[in-house]
Amino acid sequence: MPSIWKVLAFSVGLAVSGVGFAQNKAPETMPYTAVDHPEFVRASEASFLSDTDIVIGVSNVGVTKAYSGADLAQHGVVHDQMPDGPIAITW
């Protein structure tokens, strides 16, 4: 029967080699194209949205914005600015 130290050394070796393998793998790129400079319209002009569409709303320092769930699903992330700094909206 192997000693506990041999088993632990073998286990640690597997863990270390697995970590090394994971670090050498090239990162996968997202299949999305981020929106970096979104354009907005007034809510009364947003005829492309229906009452059942999902939106994500953000409000801060008197500024309120809504991001279409469909657009977020297509693009993955929207980079935007609020009065106190940059934000990222993701779905």
Q: For residues 49 and 1, which has the higher predicted lDDT (pLDDT)?
A: 49
At residue 67, the pLDDT reads: 95
CA 20 to chain centre: 25
Q: What is the mean pLDDT of the chain?
A: 78
Judged against a pLDDT cut of 50, whether residue 74 lies above it is answered with yes
The domain spans of the chain are 32-90
Q: DSSP state, 84?
A: T
pLDDT digits (tens, 9 = 90+) for 4-41: 444 434 444 444 444 444 556 666 666 778 899 999 99
What is the value of pTM for the model shown?
0.63
* Close Cβ partners of 32 (under 8 Å, ≥ 6 residues apart): 74, 75, 76, 77
Distance CA 15, CA 7 (A): 12
Distance CA 64, CA 83 (A): 10
At residue 65, the pLDDT reads: 95
